[in-house]
Amino acid sequence: MGKLTKITDYLWEIPQTGQMLVPGRIYASEKLMSQIQKDESLKQVANVAHLPGIINYSLAMPDIHWGYGFPIGGVAATDAGSGVISPGGVGYDINCGVRLLRTNLSADFIRPKIKDLITTLFNAVPSGVGSHGAIRKLSRQDVRNILLKGAGWAIENGYGYADTLKFIEDNGCLKNADPDVISERAYQRGMPQLGTLGSGNHFVEISKISDIYDESFSGRLGLIKGNVVVFIHTGSRGLGYQICDDFIKVTLQATRKYGINVPDRQLACAPLDSQEGKDYLGAMRGAANFAFANRQVISALIETTMMNTLNMSPNDLEMSLIWDIAHNIAKIENHIVDGKQRQVCVHRKGATRAFGPGHRDLPEEYREIGQPVLIPGDMGTESYLCVGTDKAMLETFGSSCHGAGRVLSRTQARKRSQGRNLYAEMANAGIVVMAEGKSTMAEEMPDAYKNVTGVVNTMHNAGITRKVARFTPMGVIKG
Amino acid sequence: MKKSYRQFNQTSDLGIEVIGSNLESLFRNAAMCLSDLITDFTLLKKIQNRIVSVQAEDWELLLREFLAELLYLFHTDNFLAKDITIIKVNSNELEVELSGEQITIGTHPIYREIKSVTYHQLYIKQTKSGFKARFILDI
């Protein structure tokens, strides 16, 4: 890999060397870059630059860290005609994403009740390994309908309200999903899991709106300082993992068949205009729709549980969706490249779409301010809502960061947690946590993550996203 | 269980190195490692048997397929292996009998969810004392 050079205070470049088709570009402050250089993520940025049809740069956001294939925080746009699609550029948890719900409740009202609320939510939203049973067991036909309809299926079946859909990326449904290319194994894994959180870094969090940076924007988003919001972070569960696994095998064959050279088997890919590429895109869209439906069902479970626990009506609670984003996804989008409109396939692996103001895919309510970008931090610190900018459209194919990004491996985190009572530490900080997995607390401890504020400020200062509000956690459910 | 594997630092997921005196023991140890990462291995009992058979193009892909198949059994049936007997193995094909049990989540502790077995930096190498495999598990 060539020598890393600094372009601006917040942007770095890996030169195009060897078989790389474009240079790499990483958004990071000096401080973040010194952390980033400690693992193998920059090499992964260079590896992604080998994908046929990649346009402009292999990009990475400041929460970049060493993943498999793509770095986490990686963005790559390939030409929709002559380029490839890589399941490794989406990941196993297809359409892992975040949604943010506002409520009418004040943090002061909730604080004395937070322990009860987290306990009831922990019971209502199944979490942990193989979590299931949130709703009735689905039939194969139900799953097929979900793959085609996404969050709309959940609404049709009584989980939420129709006016919610416009506040979900792509209205909660990617068109042209193909349920016929999805394996029986994936169907079987999806049937018991709708409405479940899963494990790892997935969570439900009750937070307080602690800072507003832009009053004119926060008003449009219905954010009131001191009020309570709910974050949900989960994806397509076992159905998505199975589809990714199935299609890496398909694309490994395709990589050879079409004579494609990539430096990592996890970057296996297929031309977008090949049958293998089209099949993966159709299957991936189905999994993305399952994830949109999953977060929609979980929202409805949370609303019902909060109303019951707090003895409130829907009008008292006034829970409504601010936005729902996908951060593991590949999308066919139109972008301006070298002054011309071009159809591209944007892979976002641990990166969030961040469309700027005026984009026609945004609902009317947000068209003037830009797309909300949800950036949760670790469970002990804070999270942010930002909005996309015109500069994001020019530089990053309308993309930004997705979280704090890990800095410690899970092994290092477990070592650092030894002899510490993390639950007590969180309680001392005023945060109630319940976790299902026995290693989850240690592996997901706040020390394991970068400082989310540094990540968010990098994208703010680089002009890619603009800060609107900051949230601090009050109660967290981890899988 | 005498640890025949170790975790190496990988930022997002779990990096694993397994050793074995020969390829059969390497595959066996990798399977035991997977059970040990998911639950308390000492509590597992040999109550049921399952036959698993996988095909792949080389030893490395065969190991990944095998581990992915074990993970599938756990995700769909809560089954974890305590021991394995190799029935047939060559560089393209593996058939094993697993002895283990369908665990009850709650009775058996669950440490973490492993989403999948990735191909990133996957390798099997011959060493002075046998074989070493390296793979990364998606968490």
Q: What's domain A5-478's architecture?
A: Alpha-Beta Complex (3.90)
**Collapsing DSSP states into helix, strand and coil, what is residue B35?**
helix
- Distance of CA B39 to CAs A156, A189, A413, Å? 39, 21, 19
- Distance of CA A329 to CAs A40, A424, B115, Å? 22, 37, 17
Predicted pLDDT at A364: 96
pLDDT in tens, A24-38: 999 999 999 999 999
Contact B12 A65 (CB under 8 A): yes
Contact A411 B8 (CB under 8 A): yes
Nearest-by-CA chain A residue for B119: A266
The closest CB to that of B12, out of A67, A245, A438, belongs to A67
The closest CB to that of B138, out of A68, A198, A409, belongs to A68
Contact B109 A438 (CB under 8 A): yes
User: CB distance from A39 to chain B under 8 Å?
Assistant: yes
Contact A438 B120 (CB under 8 A): no
Query: Which residues form the domain of B60?
Result: 17-138
Q: Cβ(A128)–Cβ(A439) under 8 Å?
A: no
B9 within some domain: no
The total domain count for chain B is: 1
B5 within some domain: no
pLDDT range class, residue B2, cuts 50, 70, 90: low
CA distance A458 to A211: 18
B12 within some domain: no
Predicted pLDDT at A350: 98
Q: How far is A230 from chain B (nearest CA, A)?
A: 24
User: CB distance from A239 to chain B under 8 Å?
Assistant: no
User: CB distance from B11 to chain A under 8 Å?
Assistant: yes
CA distance A228 to A286: 33
Residue extents of the structural domains in chain A: 5-478
Q: How far is B85 from chain A (nearest CA, A)?
A: 26
B110 within some domain: yes
Instruction: At A435, list the tokens.
Output: 């976790």
Sign of the alpha-carbon dihedral angle for B79, B85, B87, B88: positive
pTM: 0.97
User: CB distance from B43 to chain A under 8 Å?
Assistant: no
**A335 annotated active-site:** no
Predicted pLDDT at B106: 81
Q: Cβ(A72)–Cβ(A65) under 8 Å?
A: yes
| Bridge-based pairing state of the strands A372-375 and A383-388 | antiparallel
B22 within some domain: yes
Burial of A329 (0-12, 13-18, 19+ CB in 10 A): buried
Does residue B52 register a pLDDT over 70? yes
User: CB distance from A91 to chain B under 8 Å?
Assistant: yes
B54 within some domain: yes
- Distance of CA A238 to CAs A3, A198, A242, B20, Å? 40, 9, 6, 31
B84 within some domain: yes
By residue count, chain B amounts to 139
Q: How far is B109 from chain A (nearest CA, A)?
A: 7
Q: How far is A314 from chain B (nearest CA, A)?
A: 34
Positions of chain A with pLDDT lower than 50, given as ranges? none
B4 within some domain: no
Helices (H), A275-409: 275-310, 314-317, 364-367, 390-395
Nearest-by-CA chain A residue for B75: A130
CATH at B117: 3.55.10.10
CA distance A79 to A307: 48
Predicted pLDDT at B1: 55
CA distance A362 to A356: 9
Does residue B3 register a pLDDT over 90? no
